[in-house]
Chain A
Amino acid sequence: MPIQSDERPIDRWVDGLPKTSFFEFVAARILVPFWAWWTPVKPLPGGPHPSFQRGDNVQCMMNLVMPLKDKSPVGRTLAALAIAQNKDAIYAGLNNVGTVHFARFVIVNDNICMFSVYDGDFTNYIRDFIATIGSVFNAVVGLVEDGEKVIPCEQNVEAFIQWVHERDLYQVPDTATDFLRDQEALNGDEAVSPVNDDLTLLPRKLILQLRANANVSLGNGYRAYPGFSAAQVRERLGLGW
């Protein structure tokens, strides 16, 4: 049977409209600000979801994005030096804390970022690091906007943990509908079937969340060997402690 099409030139033009720079301009300057004003959204909190389940409490992700005070090559260089000068302290901390799979410091534009994968509770992870490499945190956080409020971190432990948590990126779930569930939980919406949702609003909800939360982690990490702690990996590889 020959393929019939009712597509007219105006349909083709409208289908391609979202990819035009005109629409991108209108969306960025008018539509998104309008809907953000009309239907405001709260930024979703960062870090992993609290969980009692073992598998969720190993290989947790922390993604800190910290704006530098000095937004110039000099400021970025100072941040790079702060890490390089503390290399021994970082290794000593990693080996002693024992719950970290890896930690990375990355400069992206005018931000210094710390990305790490750790086992166990977030607050204990930060607490352990304060105890072992507090001096490194002090050196880095001293270069970051609003960082002076929480250093020296050894004397501001709880405030420092909260400061870090507020800068830990929201981890957008792997499934789009879990993102909706996160928003509903934040808004106290625990409705069960039947409900009156509108799934076609999913794109707008995601757009507005990414406006409120400009930096996010996409997913909570894709693991090659999920479920194993750093201690188990070291033990099974015969690396000692």
Chain B
Amino acid sequence: MVDESVAKQLVQVIIDNLPEPVPGRRPVHTIGMGVKGKFVASDVARTYCIAEHFNGQPVEVSMRFSNGMGGLKQHDGWSDVRGMAVRFHLSDGTASDLIATTLGEFFVRNVEDFFEFSKVAKLQPYQRRHWLLKILDYLQLKVPPRNPNPNETESIDAGVLGYADRHRFSQLGIFQVGQIGAPESYARASYHAVHTFWVTAPDGVRRPVRFSWQPVAGVRNIDAEDVSRDKYLFNELEDRLKRWPARFMLMMTIGEEGDALDDPTKPWPGTRLRVAMGTLTLIEVAKNQDEDGERISFNPNRLAPGIEPSDDPILKARLGAYEVSREMRGGCPFKWRQDNAHTK
């Protein structure tokens, strides 16, 4: 496990980079909503993983959708990473969490990279690029920097781009962030858990895997020009679930020898075996948003027996950082399984 002081530093550098820190709330993914649902594993899931939620019995699920930005300003229409944290409630009162975002790959490999990234990815004044410079970009066959969003006066874009120019491992994740857009609905985006996990099958075979949620309703973004729509995602999901449940398929990709098991910046090829592990049905927006949307605390290392974290340094760092963040904001602690070697 990453040293607790390092975990505190990780959280602090995130807070230090915020335009307006919000004590008592998440430093990033601040704006979010809790949702209740059920997960039912596919017929084949149990042959790949012995974890309880893959045995085919319906499992109660708590989840939280979120916008990636930190702070209380809600800008649903801005291009931003979205989060989908899912808690599978197990029969013994413990749980297995799966935290995913719309970002396919992460942009740093380890804690050292993250600290360096945090130093350069600072908020700077952000203005519309002068039209003459844009024409110069066109003449060089470059795409000019994006226009500022409505009322946006600061951005980390320049520092992030500079970091990507110096570090090829970061380029895919940062490029994806630049292209990510805004979803029409939280239920119309794909979410990726980014890290590698090890799952154990009933015959004892352990496999490296990566998980993704794919929306049954399909992926759809709003028009990129429609950035002024600040608040629509909560109401959209609430209205959607009143009409009909929304569903996601949990897809599990199985890695092979030679694939990046401990590096979340590297994608796996699309040629890897992909197994449908089950269907998550979103039933209703949680009635108690303070409890189920704010105080609920997830951790990507909270895993059911049968699933283990890989040696991915970012995954290891998230164990402590999420707990530090939870304590700082007074989040609700949750029971960990007894044999979890990563339990604090």
A55 in contact with B135 (CB, 8 Å): no
How far in angstroms is the closest Cβ of chain A from B141?
Answer: 4
Instruction: Compute how far the CA of A3 lies from the CA of B165 in the bound complex, rounded to whole angstroms.
Output: 33
The reply to whether the CB of B151 lies closer than 8 angstroms to some CB of chain A is yes
Within 8 A of B (CB), among A8-64: 10-11, 13-15, 17-18, 23, 27, 31-32, 35, 52-56, 58-59
The reply to whether the CB of A176 lies closer than 8 angstroms to some CB of chain B is yes
As a 0/1 sequence over residues 174 to 204 of chain A, the CB contacts with chain B under 8 angstroms (1 = contact) are 1111101100000000011111111111111
A7 in contact with B143 (CB, 8 Å): no
Instruction: Compute how far the CA of A171 lies from the CA of B137 in the bound complex, rounded to whole angstroms.
Output: 28
The reply to whether the CB of B272 lies closer than 8 angstroms to some CB of chain A is yes
Instruction: Compute how far the CA of A203 lies from the CA of B140 in the bound complex, rounded to whole angstroms.
Output: 10
The reply to whether the CB of B205 lies closer than 8 angstroms to some CB of chain A is no
A199 in contact with B175 (CB, 8 Å): yes
Q: What residue of chain A has the Cβ atom nearest to residue B173's Cβ?
A: A177
Instruction: Compute how far the CA of A197 lies from the CA of B259 in the bound complex, rounded to whole angstroms.
Output: 25
A55 in contact with B134 (CB, 8 Å): no
How far in angstroms is the closest Cβ of chain B from A174?
Answer: 6
Cross-chain contact of A204 among B142, B168, B269 (Cβ < 8 A): B142
B258 in contact with A204 (CB, 8 Å): no
Instruction: Compute how far the CA of A5 lies from the CA of B164 in the bound complex, rounded to whole angstroms.
Output: 29
B165 in contact with A204 (CB, 8 Å): no
Q: What residue of chain A has the Cβ atom nearest to residue B254's Cβ?
A: A227
- Given contacts A6-B128, A11-B128, A207-B141, whether A223 and B271 have CB atoms under 8 Å apart is yes
Which residues of chain B are near A6, meaning CB under 8 Å?
127-128
How far in angstroms is the closest Cβ of chain B from A150?
Answer: 30
Cross-chain contact of B135 among A3, A17, A196, A219 (Cβ < 8 A): A17
Which residues of chain A are near B164, meaning CB under 8 Å?
197, 199
Instruction: Compute how far the CA of A35 lies from the CA of B142 in the bound complex, rounded to whole angstroms.
Output: 12
Instruction: Compute how far the CA of A31 lies from the CA of B270 in the bound complex, rounded to whole angstroms.
Output: 35
Which residues of chain A are near B172, meaning CB under 8 Å?
175-178
The reply to whether the CB of B231 lies closer than 8 angstroms to some CB of chain A is no
How far in angstroms is the closest Cβ of chain B from A8?
Answer: 8
The reply to whether the CB of B242 lies closer than 8 angstroms to some CB of chain A is no
A194 in contact with B166 (CB, 8 Å): yes
Within 8 A of A (CB), among B157-175: 161, 164-169, 171-172, 174-175
A177 in contact with B171 (CB, 8 Å): yes
A14 in contact with B135 (CB, 8 Å): yes
Which residues of chain A are near B139, meaning CB under 8 Å?
31
The reply to whether the CB of B138 lies closer than 8 angstroms to some CB of chain A is yes
Cross-chain contact of B273 among A3, A7, A55 (Cβ < 8 A): A55
- Given contacts A54-B256, A177-B171, whether A227 and B141 have CB atoms under 8 Å apart is no
Q: What residue of chain B has the Cβ atom nearest to residue A2's Cβ?
A: B151
- Given contacts A199-B171, A226-B272, A227-B271, whether A53 and B257 have CB atoms under 8 Å apart is yes
A3 in contact with B228 (CB, 8 Å): yes
The reply to whether the CB of A222 lies closer than 8 angstroms to some CB of chain B is yes
B166 in contact with A195 (CB, 8 Å): yes
The reply to whether the CB of A1 lies closer than 8 angstroms to some CB of chain B is yes
A32 in contact with B141 (CB, 8 Å): yes
As a 0/1 sequence over residues 163 to 200 of chain B, the CB contacts with chain A under 8 angstroms (1 = contact) are 01111110110110000000000000000000000000
A220 in contact with B270 (CB, 8 Å): yes
Question: Of residues A177, A191, A192, which shows the largest number of chain B Cβ atoms within 10 Å of its Cβ?
Answer: A177
Question: Of residues A52, A176, A193, A197, which shows the largest number of chain B Cβ atoms within 10 Å of its Cβ?
Answer: A193
How far in angstroms is the closest Cβ of chain A from B232?
Answer: 15
- Given contacts A18-B138, A200-B142, whether A193 and B166 have CB atoms under 8 Å apart is yes
- Given contacts A180-B171, A193-B168, A199-B164, whether A4 and B151 have CB atoms under 8 Å apart is yes
Which residues of chain B are near A181, meaning CB under 8 Å?
168
Instruction: Compute how far the CA of A27 lies from the CA of B273 in the bound complex, rounded to whole angstroms.
Output: 42
Which residues of chain B are near A10, meaning CB under 8 Å?
131
How far in angstroms is the closest Cβ of chain A from B279?
Answer: 18
The reply to whether the CB of B147 lies closer than 8 angstroms to some CB of chain A is yes
B167 in contact with A195 (CB, 8 Å): yes
Q: What residue of chain A has the Cβ atom nearest to residue B268's Cβ?
A: A55
Which residues of chain A are near B256, meaning CB under 8 Å?
53-55
How far in angstroms is the closest Cβ of chain B from A190?
Answer: 10
Provide a sorted-by-A list of 29 A–B residue pairs whose CB atoms are within 8 angstroms. A1-B151, A4-B151, A7-B128, A13-B131, A14-B131, A15-B134, A23-B138, A31-B139, A52-B258, A55-B256, A55-B271, A55-B272, A56-B271, A59-B271, A174-B270, A177-B171, A177-B172, A178-B172, A180-B168, A181-B168, A193-B168, A197-B171, A198-B165, A199-B165, A201-B140, A203-B142, A223-B271, A227-B271, A227-B272
Closest 8 CB pairs of A and B: A204-B141, A227-B273, A3-B150, A14-B131, A55-B271, A194-B166, A177-B172, A177-B171
* A positions within 8 Å CB-CB of B: 1, 3-7, 10-11, 13-15, 17-18, 23, 27, 31-32, 35, 52-56, 58-59, 174-178, 180-181, 191-204, 207, 219-223, 226-228
Beyond A192-B168, A199-B164, A200-B143, 11 additional contacts (C-beta under 8 Å) are A1-B151, A10-B131, A15-B134, A55-B269, A56-B269, A176-B175, A195-B168, A199-B175, A203-B143, A204-B141, A226-B271
